[in-house]
Every structure is written in structure tokens, then in C-alpha cells.
Amino acid sequence: MSDDDNYKSLSDFLKEFYIPSYVLSPESDPPALPIAPPESPVLVFINSKSGGQLGGELLLTYRSLLNNKQVFDLGVETPDKVLRRIYINLERLKDDDLARHIRDKLKIIVAGGDGTAGWLLGVVCDLKLSHPPPIATVPLGTGNNLPFAFGWGKKNPGTDAASVELFLDKVIKAKEMKIDNWHILMRMKTPKEEGSCDPLAPLELPHSLHAFHRVSPTDELNRVNKSFCHDNSDSFSLIMDILCSFQEGYHTFRGGFWNYFSLGMDAQISYAFHSERKLHPEKFKNQLVNQSTYVKLGCTQGWFCASLFHPASRNIAQLAKVKIANKNGQWHDLHIPHSIRSIVCLNLPSFSGGLNPWGTPNPRKQRDRDLTPPFVDDGFIEVVGFRNAWHGLVLLAPNGHGTRLAQAKRVRFEFHKGATDHTFMRMDGEPWKQPLPMDDETVMVEISHLGQVNMLATHDCRSRSMYDPLTPRHQEEYDDNEDDSVAEAEEYRKFGAADTFKIPDEVDISHLS
């Protein structure tokens, strides 16, 4: 079907999202018939392997409703190639009124799990597009924390035409929100002895972390773009950190996350789940089954009886020293209770399938501890601790929250020499088992702020902006629990206070060049 015939067959509603082929590809000719400027032109990226068969079905539905050339299968073509090609073409068409209108109004829809959504966010951020489009997320994964945080739900959606049109209606009515982008830098020495644990083990690291290798001081990679750094002090600090870490005998990794980074036992459970799913993918075709399997693994891994089954050497305080840069930018040590077995650095109010570990501190706590609600665009990250699964279950109660440790501009983990030979880490749903060299006292992980990206959100979403006067303050949701101090006595309570950029594993790109 030609572009003209396809456009004529669309309803007036679907025409508001339509992008003609000549805008997407220089090989296509402009349509013969006039096309009204669309109110909400969209590029749709779908992980066809997500949600069992749902991803493939959703791909077919979107292609039947819109121009099939504006709907992309992430298993066939990566988003960086697609966006680079389209934006080069838009620059070629900069004097074309319709193309310029589409560029200014463009939005992205991404359907997949949190890993897929983070992939798109990372690509848009890395490409530094002249007009970066805001992004809406369709929940096709297991946790779906990103979609839930911005009002798109956490249950896998319907794939029929009516369900897709209902989602498109929400997209056209959605508001834009900026969210913070958090960068992670990890550095450790190269093992010296034969047989030592190699931190570069390729199967252990997620795609959200990229290895950097030492380069010559005269290499182009060591030349800092001064104009870029002048406009972005966070980026300048980040670049200097990376360049300083290029030392002989060191491995350096960098990556990023939008929702959370976690360390400890919760990441261990997630790693067990992902390992099982890789071995037996046929058992993980249903969101409800996935979630029940996750709970069972939590039991078998001892998360509910952590004091009995979890070695004390893996508790956060025994594993690493934690430092934070406070709201004034000053570094100091963060006290971690010996009972804390999992620590989460959280950017969005959605964790483990929609739970909110930080909650909303009541006015007394905000005053006494200088705490704030968890705004997604304030340049601060919330640091929360958990003791065990029972601690986590309190998140299900009204006003439940985790042990609030700090709000920080930067967080640094310095691992103790010889504490253990490995630990478990997780970023935005992607876990890995991280080897730790036993003879190295310089293993370091640092989290810092690196810019923002635009998201699309429904008007009743739970994410809040510090700059939006219409953002609800949820006064009625202040917690009124006892003070969540980090005293050691908390270990003896029956319940505590409450519980990329990358290419996701489920996307096969081995055939792509």
C-alpha cells in the first residue's frame, strides 16, 4: 500500500500519530496528497521477545494501525542506528515545513521491560540530539518499574487495536517530565596472580556497563571537549574521573541507570532469577509466573531468614565503606548498620514491581534530618537499606518505607580488602555477580549525576517534579511510623521500617553489524 493510500485509510485519531515515509528515509518520495501536521507523531520501538508472545503481537498491531516504517523491532535494528538515520534525514529536510513540525513534536514509545526502556533512554541521552524526544514506556517486562513510576501501569497490556488506541490516547494527553540520569564508574586492579578472579569476565557484567581500557595520553580519547564541559559541570567532573582512572594495571567500567542501583542480597535474588530464566526460558512466558518464581527464589536463597543463611561478611558494613557527597557537595562517611544486607540507590519512586522504599518523610523528619520527598529531577539520589525480606514486606503496608540512610549528590562504595571474593549488583533490573580481587583494596564504585532526559507521564503518575507547581504533595501520605534511625537496635524488631546503557539479554542482536 502506498503512503497516500495508507494515510487515507486512517481514522482522524490515528492521523495525529502518523509519520510519512519520506521523513523517515531519504529513499522515499514525499506524498502526492497533502498531509495535515500530526499533533503527536511517534516512533515506536518494540522488543518483540518481551512478555512471552506479547511483544510480537504488539509489533503487528502497531504496524497495522500506523505507517509500518515508523514501528521498529529491536531484535532487527538497534535504536541508535534508527535514530541517527532519522535525525540525519530530518536535518536534510530542515526547510520542509511538515518535517520540521514532526521533528519538534516527535515522541517515542518503547515497549519492553525496564532493561529495554533504559536502553532507549540511554541511546537518546548519548546521541545528544538537537531536539531529544520525550519517551513513553509500555510495560512488557516482569517488574515494569519505569512504566509504573510515570503512570503507564505495571501489568502487561492488551495487544489488540482497541488497547493500542487507548494507549495512544494517553500519549497524546501526557505531560513531559525531566528525570535525572545517574552515571556509575567502577574501578579495580587487574589480577596479578595466575588463577585470580578476573573482573572482566564477560558473562558477569550487564550491557549497561562498558569496559574502558588505558589509552595513550596523546590519544584523541584523552582530549576533553572544553566547550561541552564548560556547559555541563557534571560532565566535566565525570570525564576527569574517567581520565584519572586510566592507570596502568587497572580495569575501569562505566555505565548508567535511571531507576536504581542496588548492592547485596536483593541483587543476589535477582541474579538467581535471571540465571534460571536463561537456562529455562520456556518457563518464563507469563508475568504472574515470573513474579511467583521470584518469590520462591527469595525463599530458597535465604532472604527471609537472612540472619541464619546470609554470611555476615556479605553485610554491607562488612563489605564496603560507603561515602556520600551531601547536598552541599561535601564528602563524608555514611554509617551503615551492621544488620543491613542490601542497599539501594534509588532515583524513582518504584522498586521491585512498584514499591516505594523511600516513602514521604513527615514534616518532623524533613526538618530534623534534612530529608525531602523523592523528586525525580532534583539531582539527589535516595539511599535506602534493607535487612531481609520481612523488612521489605513492610513496604506493602500503608506509609511503609525502608531504612532511610541519606539523600546525596554522589555515592561511593570502597570495598574492603579481602572481605569476600564476589558480591552481587543490579542496575535497573539487570543483575550480575561481580568478582572482587582479594588482594586489592582499591575496588571502587561511584555514582554521580549526569544530566537529564525527557519522559512522558500521565497526569496522575506517582513521580514528582520539584519544578512542577501542579505536582501533588500527597500530604495525606506522610509516614507516621516511628523514627527510622539507623540504630543497631533495629535488628531486633520483628518488622523494620518498610522493604545503558545496555542491550537487554532477551534481544538477540548477534546478526546485526
pLDDT digits (tens, 9 = 90+) for 133-154: 999 999 988 778 889 999 999 8
Nearest CA-CA partner of 144 in 268, 296, 287: 287
Degrees to nearest 5, angle at CA 239 with 238 and 243: 120
Nearest CA-CA partner of 209 in 435, 501, 425: 501
**pLDDT at site 268:** 79
**Which residues is 256 bridged to in the sheet?**
183
What residues contact residue 236 under an 8 Å CB cut-off, 6+ apart? 224, 229, 230
Secondary structure of residue 425 in the 3-state scheme: strand
Separation between Cα atoms, residue 340 and residue 295, nearest integer Å: 20
Task: Mark out the alpha helices in 245-340 (DSSP H runs).
Answer: 265-279, 287-300, 306-309, 316-319
Secondary structure of residue 353 in the 3-state scheme: coil
What residues contact residue 391 under an 8 Å CB cut-off, 6+ apart? 402, 403, 495, 496, 497, 498, 499
Cell of 331: 564528602
**pLDDT at site 101:** 97
Are 304 and 269 spatial neighbours (Cβ–Cβ below 8 Å)?
no
Burial code (b: 16+ CB inside 10 Å, e: under 16) for 231-264 equals eeebbbbbbebbbebbeeebbbbbbbbbbbbbbb
Q: Kind and range of the H or E element at 55?
A: helix 54-65
Q: Kind and range of the H or E element at 463?
A: none
Q: Which residues of the chain have pLDDT under 50?
A: 194-197, 199-203, 213-231, 245, 294, 303-304, 306, 308, 390-398, 472-476, 480-513
Are 263 and 316 spatial neighbours (Cβ–Cβ below 8 Å)?
yes
Integer distance in angstroms from the first to the last C-alpha of the chain?
A: 30
Residue written as cell 519512586?
A: 349
Are 106 and 45 spatial neighbours (Cβ–Cβ below 8 Å)?
no
Nearest CA-CA partner of 411 in 379, 443, 446: 446
Nearest CA-CA partner of 158 in 108, 95, 111, 114: 111
Q: Kind and range of the H or E element at 42?
A: strand 42-46
320-325 and 410-415 strand pairing: antiparallel
Q: What are phi and psi of 148, to 5 degrees?
A: -65, -40
**pLDDT at site 469:** 55
pLDDT per residue as tens digits for the range 31-60: 888 899 999 999 999 999 887 778 999 999
**pLDDT at site 275:** 65
Cell of 320: 564496603
pTM check: above 0.85? no
**pLDDT at site 62:** 97
**pLDDT at site 214:** 42
430-435 and 175-189 strand pairing: unpaired
**pLDDT at site 78:** 92
Task: Mark out the alpha helices in 305-362 (DSSP H runs).
Answer: 306-309, 316-319
Separation between Cα atoms, residue 376 and residue 365, nearest integer Å: 20
Separation between Cα atoms, residue 52 and residue 282, nearest integer Å: 9
Nearest CA-CA partner of 359 in 391, 397, 304: 397
Are 298 and 269 spatial neighbours (Cβ–Cβ below 8 Å)?
yes
DSSP string for residues in 110-128: EEE-HHHHHHHHHHHHHHT
**pLDDT at site 215:** 39
Nearest CA-CA partner of 3 in 26, 19, 25, 17: 19
Residue written as cell 543463611?
A: 309
Degrees to nearest 5, angle at CA 104 with 375 and 14: 95
What is the CA 181 to chain-centroid distance, rounded?
9
**pLDDT at site 216:** 39
Residue written as cell 532477551?
A: 506
Separation between Cα atoms, residue 387 and residue 403, nearest integer Å: 9
Separation between Cα atoms, residue 496 and residue 324, nearest integer Å: 24
Task: Mark out the alpha helices in 332-439 (DSSP H runs).
Answer: 363-368, 389-393
